[in-house]
Chain A
Amino acid sequence: MAEAVFDLQGVELVLPAADGPRRILSNVGFSLGAGEILTIVGASGTGKTSLLRILAGLATPTGGTVRFRGQAMDGPQDGVAIVFQDYGNALLQWRSVARNVALGVERELRGEALAARVTEALRLVGLERNANDYPWQLSGGMQQRVQIARAVAMRPAVLLMDEPFGALDAMTKATQQDELLHLRQATGVSVVFITHDIEEAVYLGDRVALLSGSPGSITLSFDVDLPFPRDQVATRELPRFVALRHDMHAAIRATGGHG
Protein backbone atom coordinates (compact mmCIF):
# COMPACT_ATOMS: atom_id res chain seq x y z
CA MET A 1 0.00 0.00 0.00
CA ALA A 2 1.20 3.49 -0.86
CA GLU A 3 2.57 5.57 1.97
CA ALA A 4 0.16 8.05 3.50
CA VAL A 5 0.72 11.70 2.60
CA PHE A 6 -0.39 12.91 6.00
CA ASP A 7 -0.60 10.81 9.10
CA LEU A 8 -1.93 12.31 12.32
CA GLN A 9 -2.09 10.57 15.66
CA GLY A 10 -3.46 11.93 18.90
CA VAL A 11 -3.00 15.54 17.82
CA GLU A 12 -3.76 18.09 20.51
CA LEU A 13 -3.73 21.86 20.31
CA VAL A 14 -3.90 24.16 23.28
CA LEU A 15 -3.78 27.88 22.57
CA PRO A 16 -3.45 30.70 25.06
CA ALA A 17 -6.60 32.80 25.33
CA ALA A 18 -7.65 35.78 27.39
CA ASP A 19 -9.15 33.53 30.09
CA GLY A 20 -6.26 31.08 30.22
CA PRO A 21 -5.20 28.26 27.93
CA ARG A 22 -7.95 26.86 25.73
CA ARG A 23 -8.00 23.36 24.31
CA ILE A 24 -8.88 23.62 20.62
CA LEU A 25 -8.23 20.08 19.37
CA SER A 26 -8.13 16.85 21.29
CA ASN A 27 -6.94 13.44 20.11
CA VAL A 28 -7.35 14.10 16.39
CA GLY A 29 -6.15 11.26 14.21
CA PHE A 30 -6.53 10.42 10.53
CA SER A 31 -4.44 9.78 7.49
CA LEU A 32 -4.61 11.05 3.93
CA GLY A 33 -3.72 8.70 1.09
CA ALA A 34 -2.05 9.82 -2.13
CA GLY A 35 -4.60 11.18 -4.63
CA GLU A 36 -7.38 11.08 -2.07
CA ILE A 37 -9.90 13.82 -1.32
CA LEU A 38 -10.64 13.93 2.38
CA THR A 39 -13.37 16.34 3.39
CA ILE A 40 -13.57 17.42 7.00
CA VAL A 41 -16.92 18.73 8.15
CA GLY A 42 -17.37 20.69 11.31
CA ALA A 43 -19.53 23.45 12.76
CA SER A 44 -17.86 26.73 13.66
CA GLY A 45 -15.74 26.56 16.80
CA THR A 46 -14.65 22.96 16.33
CA GLY A 47 -11.10 23.91 15.35
CA LYS A 48 -11.32 23.31 11.60
CA THR A 49 -9.03 26.16 10.66
CA SER A 50 -6.59 25.28 13.45
CA LEU A 51 -6.39 21.75 12.13
CA LEU A 52 -5.65 23.02 8.63
CA ARG A 53 -2.96 25.36 9.97
CA ILE A 54 -1.32 22.36 11.63
CA LEU A 55 -1.35 20.44 8.35
CA ALA A 56 0.08 23.52 6.63
CA GLY A 57 2.93 23.68 9.13
CA LEU A 58 1.79 27.15 10.21
CA ALA A 59 0.87 25.98 13.70
CA THR A 60 2.62 23.44 15.91
CA PRO A 61 0.44 20.96 17.78
CA THR A 62 0.97 20.86 21.53
CA GLY A 63 0.64 17.08 21.54
CA GLY A 64 0.56 14.03 19.30
CA THR A 65 2.41 13.45 16.04
CA VAL A 66 1.94 14.82 12.54
CA ARG A 67 3.83 13.05 9.80
CA PHE A 68 4.15 14.22 6.21
CA ARG A 69 5.32 11.41 3.91
CA GLY A 70 6.55 9.55 6.93
CA GLN A 71 8.62 12.42 8.31
CA ALA A 72 7.76 14.47 11.37
CA MET A 73 6.68 17.98 10.34
CA ASP A 74 8.81 21.01 11.14
CA GLY A 75 7.02 23.89 9.45
CA PRO A 76 5.58 24.34 5.96
CA GLN A 77 6.48 21.54 3.55
CA ASP A 78 7.43 21.55 -0.10
CA GLY A 79 4.63 20.36 -2.34
CA VAL A 80 1.84 21.56 -0.07
CA ALA A 81 -0.28 24.46 -1.28
CA ILE A 82 -3.03 26.18 0.65
CA VAL A 83 -6.23 27.89 -0.39
CA PHE A 84 -7.43 30.10 2.43
CA GLN A 85 -11.01 31.01 3.16
CA ASP A 86 -10.30 34.76 3.29
CA TYR A 87 -9.24 35.39 -0.31
CA GLY A 88 -9.27 39.17 0.22
CA ASN A 89 -6.25 38.92 2.48
CA ALA A 90 -4.71 35.82 0.97
CA LEU A 91 -4.21 37.57 -2.36
CA LEU A 92 -1.71 40.40 -2.57
CA GLN A 93 -4.03 43.17 -3.69
CA TRP A 94 -1.27 45.25 -5.28
CA ARG A 95 -0.16 42.46 -7.58
CA SER A 96 -1.95 41.74 -10.83
CA VAL A 97 -3.76 38.41 -11.14
CA ALA A 98 -0.86 36.96 -13.11
CA ARG A 99 1.72 38.09 -10.56
CA ASN A 100 -0.37 36.70 -7.71
CA VAL A 101 -0.44 33.35 -9.44
CA ALA A 102 3.32 33.61 -9.97
CA LEU A 103 4.00 34.28 -6.28
CA GLY A 104 4.68 30.69 -5.28
CA VAL A 105 6.85 29.78 -8.27
CA GLU A 106 8.62 32.98 -9.30
CA ARG A 107 11.72 32.10 -7.28
CA GLU A 108 12.33 28.88 -9.22
CA LEU A 109 10.98 29.80 -12.66
CA ARG A 110 11.85 32.83 -14.80
CA GLY A 111 10.81 34.40 -18.06
CA GLU A 112 8.85 32.26 -20.45
CA ALA A 113 8.74 29.19 -18.23
CA LEU A 114 7.11 31.30 -15.52
CA ALA A 115 4.69 32.93 -17.94
CA ALA A 116 3.70 29.56 -19.35
CA ARG A 117 3.09 28.11 -15.88
CA VAL A 118 0.96 31.10 -14.91
CA THR A 119 -1.09 30.97 -18.11
CA GLU A 120 -1.64 27.26 -17.66
CA ALA A 121 -2.93 27.75 -14.11
CA LEU A 122 -5.14 30.66 -15.12
CA ARG A 123 -6.62 28.68 -17.99
CA LEU A 124 -7.50 25.90 -15.58
CA VAL A 125 -9.70 28.25 -13.55
CA GLY A 126 -10.93 30.13 -16.62
CA LEU A 127 -9.29 33.45 -15.83
CA GLU A 128 -6.70 33.74 -18.60
CA ARG A 129 -8.38 36.93 -19.80
CA ASN A 130 -8.04 38.58 -16.42
CA ALA A 131 -4.26 38.15 -16.12
CA ASN A 132 -3.62 41.89 -16.01
CA ASP A 133 -6.48 42.82 -13.69
CA TYR A 134 -6.00 43.43 -10.00
CA PRO A 135 -7.78 41.25 -7.45
CA TRP A 136 -9.78 44.18 -6.05
CA GLN A 137 -11.29 44.67 -9.50
CA LEU A 138 -12.70 41.12 -9.51
CA SER A 139 -15.74 39.51 -7.88
CA GLY A 140 -15.33 37.29 -4.83
CA GLY A 141 -15.71 34.11 -6.85
CA MET A 142 -13.07 35.21 -9.34
CA GLN A 143 -10.68 36.17 -6.55
CA GLN A 144 -11.07 32.76 -5.01
CA ARG A 145 -10.30 31.20 -8.39
CA VAL A 146 -7.14 33.31 -8.56
CA GLN A 147 -6.13 31.82 -5.24
CA ILE A 148 -6.80 28.32 -6.51
CA ALA A 149 -4.76 29.08 -9.63
CA ARG A 150 -1.92 30.30 -7.42
CA ALA A 151 -1.97 27.02 -5.52
CA VAL A 152 -2.22 24.94 -8.70
CA ALA A 153 0.69 26.82 -10.33
CA MET A 154 2.92 25.39 -7.60
CA ARG A 155 2.04 21.90 -8.89
CA PRO A 156 1.41 20.71 -5.37
CA ALA A 157 1.17 17.09 -4.27
CA VAL A 158 -1.30 18.18 -1.61
CA LEU A 159 -3.89 20.90 -1.65
CA LEU A 160 -5.19 22.17 1.69
CA MET A 161 -8.44 24.07 1.34
CA ASP A 162 -10.15 25.95 4.15
CA GLU A 163 -13.81 26.52 3.26
CA PRO A 164 -12.68 27.81 -0.12
CA PHE A 165 -16.18 28.11 -1.56
CA GLY A 166 -17.87 29.31 1.62
CA ALA A 167 -18.33 32.88 0.43
CA LEU A 168 -19.47 32.01 -3.10
CA ASP A 169 -22.98 31.96 -4.50
CA ALA A 170 -24.57 28.56 -5.15
CA MET A 171 -23.95 28.56 -8.92
CA THR A 172 -20.29 29.49 -8.69
CA LYS A 173 -19.87 27.07 -5.83
CA ALA A 174 -21.18 24.15 -7.89
CA THR A 175 -18.88 25.03 -10.80
CA GLN A 176 -15.89 25.29 -8.49
CA GLN A 177 -16.65 21.94 -6.89
CA ASP A 178 -16.63 20.27 -10.29
CA GLU A 179 -13.43 22.11 -11.24
CA LEU A 180 -11.79 20.71 -8.14
CA LEU A 181 -12.84 17.15 -9.06
CA HIS A 182 -11.46 17.68 -12.58
CA LEU A 183 -8.24 18.99 -11.15
CA ARG A 184 -7.79 15.94 -8.97
CA GLN A 185 -8.53 13.67 -11.94
CA ALA A 186 -6.04 15.54 -14.14
CA THR A 187 -3.18 15.91 -11.66
CA GLY A 188 -3.73 13.25 -9.00
CA VAL A 189 -3.36 15.85 -6.26
CA SER A 190 -4.35 14.86 -2.73
CA VAL A 191 -6.82 17.21 -1.09
CA VAL A 192 -7.85 18.05 2.44
CA PHE A 193 -11.03 20.04 2.07
CA ILE A 194 -12.54 21.73 5.09
CA THR A 195 -16.17 22.82 5.06
CA HIS A 196 -19.23 23.31 7.23
CA ASP A 197 -21.48 22.19 4.37
CA ILE A 198 -22.44 18.50 4.72
CA GLU A 199 -23.69 18.15 1.14
CA GLU A 200 -20.48 19.66 -0.21
CA ALA A 201 -18.42 17.29 1.92
CA VAL A 202 -20.26 14.21 0.67
CA TYR A 203 -20.28 15.41 -2.94
CA LEU A 204 -16.54 16.07 -3.10
CA GLY A 205 -15.07 13.50 -0.76
CA ASP A 206 -13.59 10.05 -1.25
CA ARG A 207 -13.79 10.05 2.51
CA VAL A 208 -15.59 12.28 4.97
CA ALA A 209 -14.55 12.97 8.54
CA LEU A 210 -16.68 14.75 11.08
CA LEU A 211 -14.92 17.14 13.42
CA SER A 212 -17.10 17.95 16.37
CA GLY A 213 -17.15 18.96 19.99
CA SER A 214 -15.14 21.53 21.82
CA PRO A 215 -12.27 20.72 21.97
CA GLY A 216 -12.74 19.27 18.51
CA SER A 217 -12.03 15.68 17.66
CA ILE A 218 -12.90 13.35 14.80
CA THR A 219 -16.04 11.54 15.88
CA LEU A 220 -17.00 9.88 12.63
CA SER A 221 -15.20 8.94 9.45
CA PHE A 222 -16.42 6.91 6.48
CA ASP A 223 -15.73 6.24 2.82
CA VAL A 224 -18.05 7.85 0.32
CA ASP A 225 -19.01 5.00 -2.01
CA LEU A 226 -20.51 7.17 -4.72
CA PRO A 227 -19.49 6.66 -8.34
CA PHE A 228 -17.27 9.03 -10.32
CA PRO A 229 -17.61 11.22 -12.29
CA ARG A 230 -19.95 13.00 -9.95
CA ASP A 231 -22.71 15.17 -11.26
CA GLN A 232 -24.32 18.11 -9.53
CA VAL A 233 -27.83 16.87 -10.29
CA ALA A 234 -27.59 13.09 -10.70
CA THR A 235 -25.19 12.40 -7.83
CA ARG A 236 -27.15 14.48 -5.38
CA GLU A 237 -30.33 12.52 -6.25
CA LEU A 238 -28.78 9.09 -5.66
CA PRO A 239 -30.38 7.25 -2.72
CA ARG A 240 -26.88 6.56 -1.44
CA PHE A 241 -26.06 10.29 -1.42
CA VAL A 242 -29.23 11.03 0.50
CA ALA A 243 -28.46 8.21 2.95
CA LEU A 244 -24.91 9.47 3.60
CA ARG A 245 -26.19 12.98 4.10
CA HIS A 246 -28.77 11.63 6.53
CA ASP A 247 -26.10 9.72 8.49
CA MET A 248 -23.96 12.82 8.76
CA HIS A 249 -26.83 14.94 10.03
CA ALA A 250 -27.75 12.26 12.54
CA ALA A 251 -24.15 12.00 13.75
CA ILE A 252 -23.90 15.75 14.18
CA ARG A 253 -27.14 15.83 16.12
CA ALA A 254 -25.93 12.97 18.29
CA THR A 255 -22.71 14.79 19.17
CA GLY A 256 -24.66 17.94 19.88
CA GLY A 257 -23.24 19.92 16.96
CA HIS A 258 -20.43 22.04 18.27
CA GLY A 259 -21.66 21.99 21.90
Chain B
Amino acid sequence: MKFKRLAQLLPPPVGLLPLAAVLLVWQCVAPDESPSFPPPSNWWTAIRGLTADGLLGPAVLATLQNFAAGLLAACALGFTLGLLIGVLPGLRRWTGMLLEYLRALPPPVVVPIAILMLGFSPGMQIGVIAYTTAWPILLNTVAGVAAIRELQLDVGRSMRMPWTVRMIKIVIPATLPAFLLGVRVAVSLAIVVTLLVEMFTGLPGIGLLMVTGQRNFNSSQVFGLLAVVGLLAFCLTLAFNLIEGLVLSRWPPRRSAGA
Protein backbone atom coordinates (compact mmCIF):
# COMPACT_ATOMS: atom_id res chain seq x y z
CA MET B 1 0.00 0.00 0.00
CA LYS B 2 2.67 2.45 1.10
CA PHE B 3 4.94 1.26 -1.68
CA LYS B 4 2.21 1.66 -4.27
CA ARG B 5 1.71 5.24 -3.16
CA LEU B 6 5.42 5.95 -3.51
CA ALA B 7 5.46 4.36 -6.93
CA GLN B 8 2.62 6.67 -8.03
CA LEU B 9 4.81 9.68 -7.34
CA LEU B 10 7.41 8.49 -9.82
CA PRO B 11 7.06 8.94 -13.55
CA PRO B 12 6.74 5.61 -15.35
CA PRO B 13 10.13 3.81 -15.41
CA VAL B 14 9.89 3.46 -19.22
CA GLY B 15 10.95 7.11 -19.28
CA LEU B 16 14.45 5.99 -18.35
CA LEU B 17 14.90 4.26 -21.71
CA PRO B 18 15.73 7.36 -23.81
CA LEU B 19 18.24 8.46 -21.19
CA ALA B 20 19.86 5.02 -21.16
CA ALA B 21 19.95 5.01 -24.97
CA VAL B 22 21.67 8.41 -25.11
CA LEU B 23 24.26 7.35 -22.54
CA LEU B 24 24.89 4.10 -24.42
CA VAL B 25 25.40 5.85 -27.74
CA TRP B 26 27.62 8.38 -25.99
CA GLN B 27 29.69 5.58 -24.49
CA CYS B 28 30.15 3.91 -27.88
CA VAL B 29 30.81 7.04 -29.94
CA ALA B 30 32.92 9.27 -27.68
CA PRO B 31 36.71 8.82 -27.91
CA ASP B 32 38.15 7.67 -24.60
CA GLU B 33 40.26 10.78 -24.09
CA SER B 34 37.72 13.37 -25.30
CA PRO B 35 38.36 16.62 -23.38
CA SER B 36 34.80 17.91 -23.88
CA PHE B 37 32.58 14.83 -24.04
CA PRO B 38 34.21 12.03 -22.03
CA PRO B 39 32.28 8.72 -22.17
CA PRO B 40 30.06 7.95 -19.16
CA SER B 41 32.40 5.15 -17.96
CA ASN B 42 35.03 7.84 -17.35
CA TRP B 43 32.57 9.86 -15.22
CA TRP B 44 32.18 6.83 -13.06
CA THR B 45 35.96 6.46 -12.71
CA ALA B 46 36.28 10.13 -11.78
CA ILE B 47 33.56 9.90 -9.15
CA ARG B 48 35.17 6.73 -7.74
CA GLY B 49 38.41 8.69 -7.55
CA LEU B 50 36.73 11.50 -5.59
CA THR B 51 35.19 8.98 -3.23
CA ALA B 52 38.53 7.25 -2.72
CA ASP B 53 40.12 10.61 -1.83
CA GLY B 54 37.33 11.19 0.72
CA LEU B 55 36.16 14.32 -1.10
CA LEU B 56 32.71 13.45 -2.39
CA GLY B 57 30.98 12.38 0.84
CA PRO B 58 31.78 15.53 2.85
CA ALA B 59 30.96 17.71 -0.16
CA VAL B 60 27.53 16.14 -0.62
CA LEU B 61 26.92 16.43 3.11
CA ALA B 62 27.94 20.10 3.18
CA THR B 63 25.70 20.90 0.21
CA LEU B 64 22.76 19.05 1.74
CA GLN B 65 23.25 20.76 5.09
CA ASN B 66 23.36 24.21 3.54
CA PHE B 67 20.37 23.41 1.38
CA ALA B 68 18.33 22.17 4.33
CA ALA B 69 19.30 24.97 6.69
CA GLY B 70 18.63 27.62 4.05
CA LEU B 71 15.30 26.12 3.03
CA LEU B 72 14.12 25.71 6.62
CA ALA B 73 15.02 29.30 7.41
CA ALA B 74 13.22 30.38 4.23
CA CYS B 75 10.11 28.44 5.24
CA ALA B 76 10.03 30.01 8.70
CA LEU B 77 10.73 33.50 7.37
CA GLY B 78 8.43 33.26 4.35
CA PHE B 79 5.49 31.77 6.22
CA THR B 80 5.67 34.12 9.21
CA LEU B 81 6.05 37.26 7.12
CA GLY B 82 3.53 36.00 4.57
CA LEU B 83 0.90 35.43 7.27
CA LEU B 84 1.59 38.81 8.81
CA ILE B 85 1.36 40.65 5.51
CA GLY B 86 -1.64 38.58 4.51
CA VAL B 87 -3.75 39.31 7.58
CA LEU B 88 -2.86 43.00 7.80
CA PRO B 89 -4.31 44.65 4.66
CA GLY B 90 -2.52 47.90 5.53
CA LEU B 91 0.83 46.15 5.57
CA ARG B 92 -0.02 44.42 2.30
CA ARG B 93 -0.69 47.76 0.63
CA TRP B 94 2.46 49.36 1.98
CA THR B 95 4.80 46.51 1.14
CA GLY B 96 3.32 45.30 -2.15
CA MET B 97 5.59 47.27 -4.46
CA LEU B 98 8.71 46.67 -2.37
CA LEU B 99 8.10 42.92 -2.30
CA GLU B 100 7.58 42.76 -6.05
CA TYR B 101 10.81 44.71 -6.60
CA LEU B 102 12.92 42.64 -4.22
CA ARG B 103 11.53 39.43 -5.59
CA ALA B 104 12.46 40.48 -9.11
CA LEU B 105 16.15 40.81 -8.14
CA PRO B 106 17.91 37.74 -9.62
CA PRO B 107 19.30 35.58 -6.77
CA PRO B 108 22.97 35.67 -7.89
CA VAL B 109 23.23 39.45 -7.56
CA VAL B 110 22.68 39.36 -3.81
CA VAL B 111 25.73 37.09 -3.31
CA PRO B 112 28.38 39.86 -3.57
CA ILE B 113 26.43 42.04 -1.14
CA ALA B 114 25.96 39.15 1.27
CA ILE B 115 29.72 38.48 1.16
CA LEU B 116 30.42 42.13 1.90
CA MET B 117 28.00 42.06 4.83
CA LEU B 118 28.70 38.62 6.29
CA GLY B 119 32.06 37.50 4.85
CA PHE B 120 32.90 34.05 3.48
CA SER B 121 31.05 32.19 6.20
CA PRO B 122 28.54 29.35 6.26
CA GLY B 123 26.17 31.87 7.85
CA MET B 124 26.43 34.03 4.75
CA GLN B 125 25.74 31.01 2.57
CA ILE B 126 22.66 29.98 4.49
CA GLY B 127 21.54 33.60 4.62
CA VAL B 128 21.72 33.93 0.85
CA ILE B 129 19.83 30.67 0.29
CA ALA B 130 17.19 31.67 2.82
CA TYR B 131 16.81 35.18 1.40
CA THR B 132 16.44 34.12 -2.21
CA THR B 133 14.14 31.15 -1.58
CA ALA B 134 11.89 32.87 0.93
CA TRP B 135 10.21 34.87 -1.87
CA PRO B 136 8.08 32.20 -3.51
CA ILE B 137 7.08 30.98 -0.05
CA LEU B 138 6.23 34.45 1.19
CA LEU B 139 4.27 35.50 -1.88
CA ASN B 140 2.34 32.24 -2.05
CA THR B 141 1.50 32.52 1.63
CA VAL B 142 0.23 36.08 1.15
CA ALA B 143 -1.87 34.91 -1.80
CA GLY B 144 -3.12 31.98 0.28
CA VAL B 145 -4.29 34.25 3.08
CA ALA B 146 -5.88 36.64 0.58
CA ALA B 147 -7.83 33.75 -0.93
CA ILE B 148 -9.51 32.92 2.39
CA ARG B 149 -13.19 33.74 2.06
CA GLU B 150 -14.78 36.24 4.41
CA LEU B 151 -17.28 33.50 5.20
CA GLN B 152 -14.59 31.19 6.59
CA LEU B 153 -13.59 33.88 9.05
CA ASP B 154 -17.25 34.63 9.81
CA VAL B 155 -17.63 31.01 10.93
CA GLY B 156 -14.95 31.58 13.54
CA ARG B 157 -16.32 34.96 14.56
CA SER B 158 -19.85 33.64 14.92
CA MET B 159 -18.48 31.00 17.31
CA ARG B 160 -16.89 33.80 19.30
CA MET B 161 -13.34 32.57 18.75
CA PRO B 162 -10.65 35.06 19.79
CA TRP B 163 -8.45 36.07 16.84
CA THR B 164 -5.56 33.87 18.00
CA VAL B 165 -7.83 30.83 17.85
CA ARG B 166 -9.13 31.93 14.45
CA MET B 167 -5.53 32.15 13.24
CA ILE B 168 -4.66 28.66 14.47
CA LYS B 169 -7.87 26.89 13.52
CA ILE B 170 -8.83 28.65 10.30
CA VAL B 171 -6.24 30.97 8.76
CA ILE B 172 -3.11 28.81 9.10
CA PRO B 173 -4.62 25.52 7.93
CA ALA B 174 -6.43 27.29 5.08
CA THR B 175 -3.11 28.77 3.95
CA LEU B 176 -1.11 25.55 4.17
CA PRO B 177 -1.68 24.30 0.59
CA ALA B 178 -0.60 27.66 -0.87
CA PHE B 179 2.43 27.71 1.43
CA LEU B 180 3.47 24.24 0.26
CA LEU B 181 3.06 25.33 -3.34
CA GLY B 182 5.60 28.05 -2.54
CA VAL B 183 7.93 25.53 -0.91
CA ARG B 184 7.76 23.38 -4.04
CA VAL B 185 9.19 26.27 -6.07
CA ALA B 186 11.64 27.05 -3.27
CA VAL B 187 13.10 23.53 -3.24
CA SER B 188 14.41 23.69 -6.79
CA LEU B 189 15.48 27.31 -6.34
CA ALA B 190 17.37 26.41 -3.14
CA ILE B 191 19.34 23.69 -4.96
CA VAL B 192 20.36 26.21 -7.63
CA VAL B 193 21.38 28.88 -5.14
CA THR B 194 23.26 26.47 -2.85
CA LEU B 195 25.48 25.26 -5.71
CA LEU B 196 25.82 28.76 -7.08
CA VAL B 197 27.09 30.16 -3.79
CA GLU B 198 29.54 27.27 -3.48
CA MET B 199 30.86 27.98 -6.98
CA PHE B 200 31.06 31.73 -6.35
CA THR B 201 32.71 31.68 -2.97
CA GLY B 202 34.74 28.45 -2.81
CA LEU B 203 32.99 27.34 0.34
CA PRO B 204 33.00 23.52 0.58
CA GLY B 205 30.34 21.55 -1.29
CA ILE B 206 29.58 19.91 -4.61
CA GLY B 207 29.65 23.30 -6.33
CA LEU B 208 33.28 23.80 -5.30
CA LEU B 209 34.23 20.33 -6.55
CA MET B 210 32.63 21.13 -9.91
CA VAL B 211 34.50 24.42 -10.26
CA THR B 212 37.75 22.71 -9.23
CA GLY B 213 37.20 20.00 -11.84
CA GLN B 214 36.49 22.62 -14.48
CA ARG B 215 39.63 24.62 -13.61
CA ASN B 216 41.74 21.45 -13.89
CA PHE B 217 40.13 20.61 -17.25
CA ASN B 218 38.88 17.41 -15.63
CA SER B 219 35.69 17.14 -17.66
CA SER B 220 34.97 13.59 -16.49
CA GLN B 221 34.76 14.85 -12.91
CA VAL B 222 32.43 17.70 -13.89
CA PHE B 223 30.12 15.37 -15.83
CA GLY B 224 30.18 12.86 -13.00
CA LEU B 225 29.27 15.54 -10.46
CA LEU B 226 26.52 16.75 -12.78
CA ALA B 227 24.99 13.29 -12.62
CA VAL B 228 25.34 13.30 -8.82
CA VAL B 229 23.62 16.70 -8.56
CA GLY B 230 20.87 15.53 -10.88
CA LEU B 231 20.24 12.47 -8.76
CA LEU B 232 20.33 14.53 -5.58
CA ALA B 233 17.83 17.08 -6.91
CA PHE B 234 15.59 14.28 -8.16
CA CYS B 235 15.58 12.63 -4.72
CA LEU B 236 14.93 15.93 -2.94
CA THR B 237 11.96 16.71 -5.19
CA LEU B 238 10.64 13.21 -4.65
CA ALA B 239 11.03 13.57 -0.88
CA PHE B 240 9.15 16.85 -1.03
CA ASN B 241 6.33 15.29 -3.06
CA LEU B 242 6.06 12.57 -0.45
CA ILE B 243 5.91 15.01 2.46
CA GLU B 244 3.44 17.25 0.65
CA GLY B 245 1.27 14.28 -0.22
CA LEU B 246 1.20 13.18 3.41
CA VAL B 247 0.45 16.65 4.77
CA LEU B 248 -2.22 17.46 2.22
CA SER B 249 -3.97 14.09 2.29
CA ARG B 250 -6.74 15.76 4.33
CA TRP B 251 -7.19 18.69 1.96
CA PRO B 252 -9.38 18.60 -1.13
CA PRO B 253 -7.34 17.46 -4.15
CA ARG B 254 -5.89 20.32 -6.16
CA ARG B 255 -7.81 21.23 -9.28
CA SER B 256 -4.86 21.53 -11.65
CA ALA B 257 -2.64 18.49 -11.86
CA GLY B 258 0.33 20.63 -12.80
CA ALA B 259 0.20 22.73 -9.64
Given contact pairs A76-B157, A92-B170, A103-B169, A84 touches B151 in the complex (Cβ within 8 A) = yes
Which residue of chain A is the closest to B149 with respect to CB atoms?
Answer: A89
Q: Judging by beta carbons under 8 Å apart, are B169 and A94 in contact?
A: no
A15: chain B residues within 8 A (beta carbon):
none
**How far apart sit A136 and B154, CA to CA, in the bound complex (Å)?**
20
Given contact pairs A57-B158, A89-B151, A94 touches B173 in the complex (Cβ within 8 A) = yes
Interface residues in B155-208 (C-beta closer than 8 Å to A): 155, 157-161, 165, 169-170, 173-174, 176
Q: Judging by beta carbons under 8 Å apart, are B158 and A80 in contact?
A: yes
Q: Judging by beta carbons under 8 Å apart, are B155 and A90 in contact?
A: yes
The one of A53, A58, A89, A92 in contact with B173, judged by C-beta atoms closer than 8 angstroms, is A92
**How far apart sit A53 and B158, CA to CA, in the bound complex (Å)?**
10
Q: Is B95 an interface residue (CB 8 A)?
A: no
B170: chain A residues within 8 A (beta carbon):
92
Most buried by A among B158, B159, B160, B252: B158
Given contact pairs A58-B158, A76-B157, A76-B158, A94 touches B250 in the complex (Cβ within 8 A) = yes
> How many residues of A are counted as interface, with CB atoms below 8 angstroms from the partner's CB atoms?
25
Q: Judging by beta carbons under 8 Å apart, are A84 and B155 in contact?
A: yes
Q: Is A86 an interface residue (CB 8 A)?
A: yes
Q: Is B152 an interface residue (CB 8 A)?
A: yes
Q: How far is the CB of A98 from chain B (nearest CB, A)?
A: 13
Residue-wise interface mask of A (74-109) relative to B, using a CB-CB cutoff of 8 A (1 in contact, 0 not): 011010111010100110111110000001100100
Given contact pairs A89-B151, A92-B173, A56 touches B250 in the complex (Cβ within 8 A) = no
Q: Judging by beta carbons under 8 Å apart, are A89 and B152 in contact?
A: yes
Q: Is B234 an interface residue (CB 8 A)?
A: no
Q: Is B120 an interface residue (CB 8 A)?
A: no
Q: Is A241 an interface residue (CB 8 A)?
A: no
Q: Is B217 an interface residue (CB 8 A)?
A: no
Q: Judging by beta carbons under 8 Å apart, are B251 and A94 in contact?
A: yes
**How far apart sit A89 and B149, CA to CA, in the bound complex (Å)?**
7
Q: Is A134 an interface residue (CB 8 A)?
A: yes
Q: Judging by beta carbons under 8 Å apart, are B251 and A58 in contact?
A: no
Give chain A's interface residues, CB within 8 Å of chain B: 53, 56-58, 75-76, 78, 80-82, 84, 86, 89-90, 92-96, 103-104, 107, 134, 136, 154
Given contact pairs A89-B152, A107-B165, a sample of 17 additional A-B residue pairs in the complex whose CB atoms are under 8 Å apart: A53-B154, A56-B158, A58-B154, A58-B158, A76-B157, A78-B160, A80-B158, A81-B158, A82-B154, A92-B155, A92-B170, A92-B173, A94-B174, A94-B251, A96-B250, A103-B169, A104-B159
